[in-house]
Amino acid sequence: MMHGYNVGLSQEDMSEIDMEGETIKQAIQDANTKKEEATKAVTYKNEVRAAFLNKLRKIIARIKAHRNYSDSLGQELGIIGSKSSFDSVTFKPKPKVAVSGGMVRIKFQKKGIDGVNVYRRRKGEAEWQFRARDNNSPYEERIQLENPAQPEHWEYRLIGVIKDVEIGQPSDVVEVIVGA
């Protein structure tokens, strides 16, 4: 601190500031090093786990293909998967909508479906307009208003799709006001 004397700081004040600055600098370097080490450790753990699970799946497949294998043995070994509780008749998407950066974004979870069909209408209209088929969340739609000076109130709903066929129940309606 070359101007410390000019603003009333003593040599002791300036030395203390320098020492604490060095301590903070070292603490930041230590934290960054630990962060890098943790990232590497997590990456290594994930690689080891993936390799192990691949080997384990192959061994389980060999066990299940063996002539002496039975369901009771599989149960005892804990290698029988759980049954899916997916019901294509009652399935109902649970969309979450947000407006950001000139886009409407609708998040959804697939939970056993291939994708969703997205429908939209203006609030108060009866007819739903098909907008798109989306296999990956989130669905995104650029906002285009009929009259850019006037906000619009849009409603969306999603319907699950498996093998190009709509299944289950339509989602609850989610609403956004765009252009406000």
11 vs 4, 24, 46, 178, CA distance in Å? 8, 20, 52, 61
* Max Cα–Cα distance, the chain, nearest Å: 90
Condensed to tens digits (0 to 9), the pLDDT of residues 82-100 reads 776 788 899 999 999 999 9
CB 154 within 8 Å of CB 176: yes
String of b and e for 148-175 (b: at least 16 CB within 10 Å)? eeeebebbbbbbbbeeeeebbeebeebe
Tell me: pLDDT of 5 over 80. no
Looking from the CA of 5 toward its CB, the CA atoms found within 13 Å total: 2
Q: Which two tokens stand for residue 61?
A: 């497949």
Cis peptide upstream of residue 148 (ω within 30 degrees of 0): no
CATH of domain 96-178: 2.60.40.10
Condensed to tens digits (0 to 9), the pLDDT of residues 130-174 reads 999 999 999 999 998 888 889 999 999 999 999 999 999 999 999
> Which pTM was predicted?
0.55
pLDDT band per the 50, 70, 90 thresholds, residue 180: low
Phi-psi region of 86 (alpha: psi -120 to 50; beta: other; left: phi over 0): beta
Query: To 5 degrees, how large is the angle CA 88–CA 93–CA 97?
Result: 170
Measure the CA–CA gap between 98 and 160, rounded to whole angstroms.
20
Q: What residue spans define the domains of the chain?
A: 5-65, 96-178
Mean pLDDT of the chain: 91
Tell me: pLDDT of 80 over 90. no
CB 177 within 8 Å of CB 123: no
Q: How many CB atoms lie within 10 A of CB 68?
A: 6
CB 158 within 8 Å of CB 172: no
pLDDT band per the 50, 70, 90 thresholds, residue 10: confident
